[in-house]
Amino acid sequence: MSGGEMGGTGANVAGSSTLDIPANRGGAPASHRPLGILAALPQELGDLIEAMRAESGVRTITHGQRDYHLGTVHGSPCVVTLARVGKVAAAATVSALIHAFDVDAVVFTGVAGGVGNDVRVGDIVVADALLQHDLDASPLFPRFEVPLLGMSRFAADAALADRLAAACERFVAEEGAASAARFGTREPRVHRGLIVSGDQFVASAAGVNALRDALPDALAVEMEGAAIAQVCHEYGVPCGVVRTISDTADDHAPESFVSFLTEIAGAYSNAILTRFLDARKAQG
Catalytic center residues: 44, 247
Helix (H) or strand (E) holding 87: helix 87-99
Question: Is the CB of residue 233 less than 8 Å from the CB of residue 240?
Answer: no
Q: How far apart are CA 235 and CA 91, in angstroms?
A: 12
What's the distance, Cα to Cα, between the start and end of the chain in Å?
36
The letter for the amino acid at 48 is L
Q: How far apart are CA 7 and CA 138, in angstroms?
A: 42
> Comparing C-alpha atoms, which of 119, 88, 110, 87 is closest to residue 197?
87
Question: Alpha helix (H) ranges present in 152-265?
Answer: 158-183, 205-214, 225-235, 253-260
Supply φ then ψ for residue 12, to 5 degrees: -105, 140
- Locate the DSSP E strands across the chain: 11-13, 35-39, 59-63, 66-73, 76-82, 105-114, 124-132, 154-155, 190-197, 218-222, 239-247
